[in-house]
Chains A and B, each alone.
Chain A
């Protein structure tokens, strides 16, 4: 049988087992709720503390991240929380029914409430050549480094913006790689300006200083105010052109890999499927599910933990998990008003403090107008369907005025990633072109499956007779 219906009803299903998912699951389990936590990875940890694959027998250098991941897993075990790792959620419907697939089948669970802790994915502003082999995401690069403990190639260029540039640089050096250049769209002044706000979070700030120091000591060329304009394959690897956005000066260099990222985008696939309300907030990463101060979405019974309703980073994540789950417990009348107030008072204060920090980060990750203008007309924006910037603008010239209309006329966002990768850049391009506020363009309608479903895995082997019989269409 290909579809398994699990009729056990859970009180709450937590989707995503990163720090915010785990803290909310634990908080609910402590109060006796029947909790299921689901993640497509093989263990807890999420993106930031992702566990090394099970097949890696021993990993020589234990990182701090790997230790935190272990703690998260222990918490889950300690409170005997049911887990469904290696399960990719592909459909969530009201009521709530959560459908996920693993190696062999697709399964459906039901729950009264949902905590969505699916985090973020990375934002990449396209440039000519970004789809050639050897160009990877900056956040993807952190996973290769932190969970797999190797560098993508001996020589690498890091590009984009924000603190991830520095973190990746630090690890690449740590693992023996050579960084040919760091290409940062921000200026040195932007960094200095933000450092005061960043200091509000001394722990992360200290990490940052450590990273910057390492970059400095290793004399890595840093190109500020700059972007990669073009990249193409050559015998030695990749040749790339760096453009200074202020002076207009260009420089060519050769490397083997480009890791590029311009910050993070909150994952809204599930809230869009559930037709929750969304708002546009550039500082929080773009389109986000609308939540109240206590992380309730506009759909009753759906709570947002972690970055889904705005990026605030790993430290805030577990607190946001606590907040979302406390709200759920209160709404379900499991904890009293008094307990709720006590719980949330401290968390809200802490979160306000993190806010200063995350605002500074998001400033560093802001997308300069110039790099949008600088995208060549022939550049592919939607890489699933090979839709170029000029095709998008042609649809706009023909009268398309919202992102779904552009989708339907050009096929932008119709491929396996469902616009996760292109929606941000495409909207920026169109808003810029029309001189529109970006939220007037709307957001892509949520469509199932939120991750591509492999037919062989989901259907398994079946006999023709087993296919549900349906009434014949009228003649």
Chain B
């Protein structure tokens, strides 16, 4: 039976970032994933780093996350493309204008540097947007990551920091006695750890049950649409007032359309299926925002499963009734803030005085 200081179950952005920070501080870390590193939500998400879609209370964390993403070569790896872009959030009707002004004001209150700008100013920032907008909100702190490269970047950084990675290891049982955790895998192997971190994304409900913790975690199957490569047709990250569109063009010319238009999916067999009506709605909205997009073709659609708690706020911190057991996940815009949230949890584990009370899992128990 092998031993480790810290066993992290779930190798997504949250488990990966926590593990990386712990390893940098000298702990012996093992990351376990039932699939490969960052092949869940963290490898298939839209990679948008925007304040315009972030939940107001999470803005301070998203800002810190954004800053980390902007210098990945320092703490992660060079193997991942990140681009800073201006962010424009558009309102097409008077109702949307009201909503945008109201929401931007609240986000601003929480620290996002968002301002409402005129049609003219918006067109100066990105001449490709639909000229029939009522107004726009502008934020300089925006951009995107090529999320498909997350797995490569994290596995490289983790290995360099001597983190042990167990891929294709599915946890079936966790025993706890004498302050030690014995993790038992489906293949029969075992691993002993002094502390454990549960970071299984959309599977958290099931994994928490292994420690007799019962909370509800919803599974949101989100669709993403990508075009074939096109000449440059836009220069900003575009979002809309109600938060149901994220749109940007990558360096290689492909345009990614997202925004949380649900498809069909379930956790049990990791099954997903597209919902054509919702694809069409999402595509229409995107083409309305950037009219030239209409001349392109959709190359691929895929889905990812996103976790959401009942109050749509994260759960991060200690697991009650256990020593040295932690949880991290269900973070809205979790890719943006993941690296920072992971760092925070690691610092807490290392004994720093970090306030995570906003994310305490006890609120559901």
Contact = CB atoms under 8 A, between A and B. Distances in A.
Interface of A: 2-3, 91, 93-94, 97, 99, 106, 108, 275, 384-385, 395, 398-400, 402, 404-405, 408-409, 411, 414-416, 418, 447-449, 452-456, 458-459, 462, 464, 466-468, 470-475
A453 B297 contact: yes
B285 A473 contact: no
Contacts of B148: 408-409, 411, 414
A84 B114 CA distance: 51
Nearest to A97: B276
Nearest to B150: A408
Interface stretch (B4-12, B21-29, B187-195, B299-307): B299-307
Contact of B276 (A106, A462, A467): A106
A398 B156 contact: yes
Contacts of B79: 398
Contacts of B121: none
A461 to B, nearest CB: 10
Contact of B294 (A459, A467, A474): A459
Contacts of A414: 148, 226, 299-300
22 contacts: A2-B284, A99-B276, A398-B79, A398-B152, A402-B36, A404-B39, A409-B151, A409-B152, A411-B252, A414-B148, A414-B300, A416-B297, A416-B299, A449-B298, A455-B287, A455-B295, A458-B280, A464-B93, A468-B278, A468-B280, A472-B242, A472-B244
B280 A473 contact: no
B175 interface: no
Contacts of A405: 36, 39, 151
Contact of B312 (A3, A399, A474): A474
Contacts of A466: 284
Contacts of B60: none
Given A398-B155, A414-B299, 5 more contacts: A91-B276, A93-B274, A447-B301, A449-B300, A455-B297
Given A108-B276, A472-B244, A473-B244, A467 B228 contact: no
Nearest to B38: A408
A229 to B, nearest CB: 28
B280 A385 contact: no
Contacts of A398: 79, 152, 155-156
Nearest to B242: A472
B116 interface: no
B72 interface: no
A411 B43 CA distance: 12
A108 B275 CA distance: 11
Interface in B147-162: 148-149, 151-152, 155-156, 159
A447 B303 CA distance: 9
A453 B151 CA distance: 29
B297 A470 contact: no
Contacts of A418: 299-300
A97 B43 CA distance: 29
Nearest to A404: B39
B296 interface: yes
Given A94-B273, A409-B149, A459 B252 contact: no
Given A275-B271, A467-B284, A472-B243, A455 B152 contact: no
